[in-house]
Amino acid sequence: MDAPTAYRHCENVVRSQARNFSYGIRLLPQGKRRALSAVYAFARRIDDIGDDHAAPAADRLALLADERARLADLDAHPSDPVLVALADAARRHPIPLEAFGELIDGCEADVRGETYDTFDDLHWYCRCVAGAVGRLSLGVFGTPDPERAVPRADALGVALQLTNILRDVREDGLNGRVYLPAKDLVRFGCTLERDASGRLTDDPERLANLVRFEAARAAEWYGTGLELLPMLDRRSAACAGAMAGIYRQVLRRITTDPLAALEKRTSLPAWEKAAVSARAMAGIRR
Protein backbone atom coordinates (compact mmCIF):
# COMPACT_ATOMS: atom_id res chain seq x y z
CA MET A 1 0.00 0.00 0.00
CA ASP A 2 1.35 3.44 -0.87
CA ALA A 3 1.67 6.22 1.70
CA PRO A 4 -1.00 8.57 0.26
CA THR A 5 -3.62 5.80 0.41
CA ALA A 6 -2.55 4.93 3.95
CA TYR A 7 -2.78 8.55 5.05
CA ARG A 8 -6.27 8.89 3.60
CA HIS A 9 -7.35 5.92 5.70
CA CYS A 10 -5.94 7.53 8.85
CA GLU A 11 -7.60 10.87 8.06
CA ASN A 12 -10.91 9.03 7.68
CA VAL A 13 -10.37 7.52 11.15
CA VAL A 14 -9.83 11.03 12.54
CA ARG A 15 -12.93 12.43 10.84
CA SER A 16 -15.16 9.58 11.98
CA GLN A 17 -13.79 8.87 15.47
CA ALA A 18 -11.64 11.72 16.77
CA ARG A 19 -14.53 13.92 17.92
CA ASN A 20 -12.69 16.64 19.82
CA PHE A 21 -9.23 16.16 18.32
CA SER A 22 -10.39 16.54 14.73
CA TYR A 23 -11.09 20.23 15.31
CA GLY A 24 -7.44 20.85 16.09
CA ILE A 25 -5.89 18.49 13.56
CA ARG A 26 -7.68 20.17 10.65
CA LEU A 27 -5.82 23.44 11.44
CA LEU A 28 -2.46 21.92 10.50
CA PRO A 29 -0.83 22.09 7.05
CA GLN A 30 -1.22 18.92 5.01
CA GLY A 31 2.06 17.23 5.93
CA LYS A 32 1.63 17.64 9.66
CA ARG A 33 -2.09 16.90 9.45
CA ARG A 34 -1.40 13.58 7.79
CA ALA A 35 1.36 12.68 10.24
CA LEU A 36 -0.75 13.50 13.30
CA SER A 37 -3.66 11.56 11.79
CA ALA A 38 -1.37 8.51 11.59
CA VAL A 39 -0.36 9.00 15.23
CA TYR A 40 -4.00 9.31 16.26
CA ALA A 41 -5.11 6.28 14.23
CA PHE A 42 -2.57 4.00 15.91
CA ALA A 43 -3.34 5.45 19.35
CA ARG A 44 -7.03 4.89 18.69
CA ARG A 45 -6.36 1.27 17.74
CA ILE A 46 -4.62 0.71 21.07
CA ASP A 47 -7.41 2.45 23.00
CA ASP A 48 -10.09 0.43 21.25
CA ILE A 49 -8.40 -2.82 22.25
CA GLY A 50 -8.21 -1.71 25.86
CA ASP A 51 -11.83 -0.50 25.86
CA ASP A 52 -13.35 -3.64 24.35
CA HIS A 53 -15.08 -4.79 27.54
CA ALA A 54 -16.84 -7.61 25.71
CA ALA A 55 -13.53 -9.39 25.08
CA PRO A 56 -11.76 -11.45 27.77
CA ALA A 57 -8.90 -9.63 29.47
CA ALA A 58 -6.37 -12.24 28.36
CA ASP A 59 -7.34 -11.72 24.73
CA ARG A 60 -7.02 -7.95 25.01
CA LEU A 61 -3.61 -8.22 26.66
CA ALA A 62 -2.47 -10.55 23.87
CA LEU A 63 -3.68 -8.07 21.22
CA LEU A 64 -1.86 -5.21 22.95
CA ALA A 65 1.31 -7.32 23.00
CA ASP A 66 0.86 -7.91 19.25
CA GLU A 67 0.62 -4.16 18.61
CA ARG A 68 3.72 -3.55 20.71
CA ALA A 69 5.58 -6.07 18.55
CA ARG A 70 4.32 -4.49 15.30
CA LEU A 71 5.49 -1.11 16.51
CA ALA A 72 9.05 -2.43 16.70
CA ASP A 73 9.11 -3.06 12.93
CA LEU A 74 6.62 -0.78 11.17
CA ASP A 75 7.94 -1.54 7.69
CA ALA A 76 7.12 -5.24 8.06
CA HIS A 77 3.39 -4.61 7.58
CA PRO A 78 2.90 -3.20 4.05
CA SER A 79 -0.82 -4.01 3.96
CA ASP A 80 -1.71 -2.25 7.23
CA PRO A 81 -2.63 1.35 6.33
CA VAL A 82 -2.11 2.71 9.85
CA LEU A 83 1.37 1.25 10.17
CA VAL A 84 2.32 2.27 6.62
CA ALA A 85 1.28 5.84 7.35
CA LEU A 86 2.96 5.87 10.75
CA ALA A 87 6.21 4.56 9.29
CA ASP A 88 6.20 7.29 6.65
CA ALA A 89 5.36 9.95 9.26
CA ALA A 90 8.22 8.77 11.48
CA ARG A 91 10.65 9.15 8.57
CA ARG A 92 9.52 12.73 8.03
CA HIS A 93 9.19 13.90 11.65
CA PRO A 94 11.07 13.16 14.91
CA ILE A 95 8.16 11.23 16.38
CA PRO A 96 9.19 9.45 19.64
CA LEU A 97 7.64 6.10 18.75
CA GLU A 98 8.71 4.66 22.10
CA ALA A 99 5.95 6.77 23.68
CA PHE A 100 3.43 4.37 22.13
CA GLY A 101 4.90 1.75 24.46
CA GLU A 102 3.81 3.87 27.42
CA LEU A 103 0.34 4.20 25.93
CA ILE A 104 0.19 0.41 25.72
CA ASP A 105 1.38 0.19 29.35
CA GLY A 106 -1.55 2.40 30.38
CA CYS A 107 -4.07 0.38 28.39
CA GLU A 108 -2.74 -2.81 29.93
CA ALA A 109 -3.37 -1.27 33.35
CA ASP A 110 -6.96 -0.61 32.26
CA VAL A 111 -7.41 -4.20 31.15
CA ARG A 112 -6.06 -5.47 34.46
CA GLY A 113 -8.50 -3.18 36.28
CA GLU A 114 -5.85 -1.34 38.26
CA THR A 115 -6.96 1.37 40.67
CA TYR A 116 -4.99 4.32 42.02
CA ASP A 117 -4.38 5.02 45.68
CA THR A 118 -2.77 8.47 45.38
CA PHE A 119 -2.58 11.19 42.76
CA ASP A 120 1.03 10.21 42.10
CA ASP A 121 -0.27 6.77 41.09
CA LEU A 122 -2.94 8.32 38.86
CA HIS A 123 -0.37 10.70 37.37
CA TRP A 124 1.61 7.70 36.14
CA TYR A 125 -1.48 6.42 34.35
CA CYS A 126 -2.34 9.83 32.86
CA ARG A 127 1.21 10.28 31.67
CA CYS A 128 1.05 6.89 29.94
CA VAL A 129 -2.28 7.23 28.17
CA ALA A 130 -2.28 10.96 27.41
CA GLY A 131 1.08 12.50 28.22
CA ALA A 132 2.53 10.05 25.72
CA VAL A 133 0.15 11.36 23.05
CA GLY A 134 1.28 14.90 23.92
CA ARG A 135 4.89 13.92 23.31
CA LEU A 136 4.00 12.11 20.09
CA SER A 137 2.11 15.18 18.88
CA LEU A 138 5.07 17.40 19.72
CA GLY A 139 7.20 15.23 17.46
CA VAL A 140 4.89 16.19 14.61
CA PHE A 141 4.57 19.85 15.60
CA GLY A 142 8.29 20.42 16.02
CA THR A 143 9.85 22.96 18.37
CA PRO A 144 13.15 24.87 18.62
CA ASP A 145 13.29 24.14 22.38
CA PRO A 146 12.50 20.45 22.95
CA GLU A 147 14.04 20.35 26.42
CA ARG A 148 11.45 22.82 27.73
CA ALA A 149 8.64 21.79 25.39
CA VAL A 150 8.51 18.05 26.15
CA PRO A 151 7.44 18.33 29.82
CA ARG A 152 4.82 20.91 28.84
CA ALA A 153 3.40 18.64 26.13
CA ASP A 154 3.33 15.91 28.74
CA ALA A 155 1.50 18.20 31.20
CA LEU A 156 -1.09 19.16 28.60
CA GLY A 157 -1.81 15.49 27.99
CA VAL A 158 -2.22 14.91 31.73
CA ALA A 159 -4.68 17.84 31.91
CA LEU A 160 -6.77 16.39 29.09
CA GLN A 161 -6.83 12.95 30.69
CA LEU A 162 -7.89 14.33 34.07
CA THR A 163 -10.73 16.07 32.25
CA ASN A 164 -11.65 12.79 30.58
CA ILE A 165 -11.73 11.03 33.94
CA LEU A 166 -14.10 13.61 35.42
CA ARG A 167 -16.27 13.58 32.31
CA ASP A 168 -16.56 9.78 32.35
CA VAL A 169 -17.13 9.05 36.04
CA ARG A 170 -20.59 7.58 35.42
CA GLU A 171 -19.61 5.55 32.34
CA ASP A 172 -16.48 4.20 34.04
CA GLY A 173 -18.46 3.35 37.15
CA LEU A 174 -20.93 1.31 35.12
CA ASN A 175 -17.94 -0.61 33.75
CA GLY A 176 -16.68 -1.23 37.26
CA ARG A 177 -13.85 1.32 37.10
CA VAL A 178 -12.94 4.14 39.46
CA TYR A 179 -9.98 6.27 38.43
CA LEU A 180 -10.12 9.00 41.09
CA PRO A 181 -7.47 8.42 43.77
CA ALA A 182 -8.72 6.36 46.71
CA LYS A 183 -7.18 8.80 49.19
CA ASP A 184 -9.15 11.66 47.63
CA LEU A 185 -12.37 9.69 48.02
CA VAL A 186 -11.56 9.13 51.68
CA ARG A 187 -10.64 12.78 52.16
CA PHE A 188 -14.05 13.91 50.91
CA GLY A 189 -16.01 11.05 52.45
CA CYS A 190 -17.17 9.60 49.11
CA THR A 191 -17.38 6.09 47.69
CA LEU A 192 -19.00 6.70 44.25
CA GLU A 193 -21.22 3.71 44.97
CA ARG A 194 -24.71 3.59 43.44
CA ASP A 195 -27.96 2.16 44.72
CA ALA A 196 -30.24 -0.26 42.88
CA SER A 197 -31.72 2.60 40.84
CA GLY A 198 -28.28 3.74 39.72
CA ARG A 199 -28.16 6.88 41.89
CA LEU A 200 -25.00 7.80 43.75
CA THR A 201 -25.35 7.16 47.48
CA ASP A 202 -22.83 9.79 48.63
CA ASP A 203 -23.82 13.13 50.15
CA PRO A 204 -24.31 15.59 47.24
CA GLU A 205 -22.29 18.37 48.85
CA ARG A 206 -19.35 16.05 49.43
CA LEU A 207 -19.55 14.82 45.85
CA ALA A 208 -19.57 18.38 44.52
CA ASN A 209 -16.55 19.27 46.65
CA LEU A 210 -14.70 16.19 45.40
CA VAL A 211 -15.34 17.03 41.75
CA ARG A 212 -14.36 20.68 42.19
CA PHE A 213 -11.14 19.63 43.91
CA GLU A 214 -10.20 17.30 41.06
CA ALA A 215 -11.20 19.93 38.49
CA ALA A 216 -8.97 22.52 40.16
CA ARG A 217 -6.09 20.06 39.93
CA ALA A 218 -6.74 19.58 36.20
CA ALA A 219 -6.82 23.35 35.74
CA GLU A 220 -3.34 23.60 37.24
CA TRP A 221 -2.06 21.08 34.72
CA TYR A 222 -3.58 23.14 31.90
CA GLY A 223 -1.71 26.13 33.27
CA THR A 224 1.59 24.30 32.81
CA GLY A 225 0.66 22.58 29.57
CA LEU A 226 -0.46 25.72 27.76
CA GLU A 227 3.03 27.17 28.22
CA LEU A 228 3.81 24.90 25.28
CA LEU A 229 1.99 27.08 22.73
CA PRO A 230 4.62 29.86 22.39
CA MET A 231 7.18 27.15 21.64
CA LEU A 232 5.33 26.02 18.50
CA ASP A 233 4.81 27.48 15.04
CA ARG A 234 1.54 29.33 14.57
CA ARG A 235 -0.56 26.53 13.07
CA SER A 236 0.79 23.88 15.44
CA ALA A 237 0.01 26.21 18.34
CA ALA A 238 -3.50 26.70 16.96
CA CYS A 239 -3.96 22.93 16.73
CA ALA A 240 -2.83 22.32 20.30
CA GLY A 241 -4.78 25.36 21.50
CA ALA A 242 -7.98 24.14 19.88
CA MET A 243 -7.68 20.68 21.42
CA ALA A 244 -6.91 22.11 24.84
CA GLY A 245 -9.61 24.78 24.51
CA ILE A 246 -12.35 22.25 23.87
CA TYR A 247 -11.38 20.16 26.87
CA ARG A 248 -10.97 23.22 29.10
CA GLN A 249 -14.52 24.26 28.20
CA VAL A 250 -15.72 20.78 29.17
CA LEU A 251 -13.85 21.18 32.46
CA ARG A 252 -15.51 24.55 33.09
CA ARG A 253 -18.95 22.97 32.62
CA ILE A 254 -18.05 20.18 35.03
CA THR A 255 -16.88 22.72 37.61
CA THR A 256 -20.04 24.80 37.20
CA ASP A 257 -22.39 21.85 37.77
CA PRO A 258 -20.40 18.95 39.26
CA LEU A 259 -23.43 16.87 40.27
CA ALA A 260 -24.83 16.94 36.75
CA ALA A 261 -21.43 15.83 35.46
CA LEU A 262 -21.61 12.76 37.68
CA GLU A 263 -24.96 11.73 36.21
CA LYS A 264 -24.31 12.22 32.52
CA ARG A 265 -21.36 12.71 30.21
CA THR A 266 -20.50 16.38 29.74
CA SER A 267 -19.97 17.33 26.10
CA LEU A 268 -20.00 20.36 23.82
CA PRO A 269 -22.19 20.82 20.73
CA ALA A 270 -20.39 20.86 17.38
CA TRP A 271 -20.91 24.61 16.93
CA GLU A 272 -19.15 25.34 20.21
CA LYS A 273 -16.21 23.11 19.33
CA ALA A 274 -15.94 24.89 15.98
CA ALA A 275 -16.02 28.26 17.74
CA VAL A 276 -13.22 27.25 20.10
CA SER A 277 -11.20 26.03 17.12
CA ALA A 278 -11.75 29.28 15.24
CA ARG A 279 -10.67 31.32 18.25
CA ALA A 280 -7.53 29.22 18.57
CA MET A 281 -6.61 29.89 14.94
CA ALA A 282 -7.40 33.60 15.17
CA GLY A 283 -5.76 34.10 18.53
CA ILE A 284 -2.30 32.74 17.73
CA ARG A 285 -0.44 35.64 16.15
CA ARG A 286 3.32 36.01 16.05
Confidence of residue 285 (pLDDT cuts 50, 70, 90): very low
Residues 219-233, buried b or exposed e (16+ Cβ, 10 A)?
bebbeebbebbebbb
Residue that wins the pLDDT comparison between 175 and 92: 92
> What pLDDT score does 219 carry?
96
User: What is the average pLDDT value for the chain, to the nearest integer?
Assistant: 92
> What pLDDT score does 242 carry?
92
Q: What is the pLDDT of residues 68-118, one digit of tens each?
A: 999 999 999 999 999 999 999 999 999 999 999 999 999 999 999 999 999
Residue that wins the pLDDT comparison between 196 and 148: 148
Residues 122, 177 contacting (CB under 8 angstroms)? no
Alpha-helical regions (H) of the chain: 3-17, 20-25, 30-51, 57-71, 81-92, 98-112, 119-126, 132-141, 146-167, 169-174, 182-188, 204-225, 234-256, 258-263, 270-283
Q: Is the pLDDT of residue 266 over 90?
A: no
Confidence of residue 284 (pLDDT cuts 50, 70, 90): low
> What pLDDT score does 21 carry?
84
pTM of the entire predicted model: 0.92
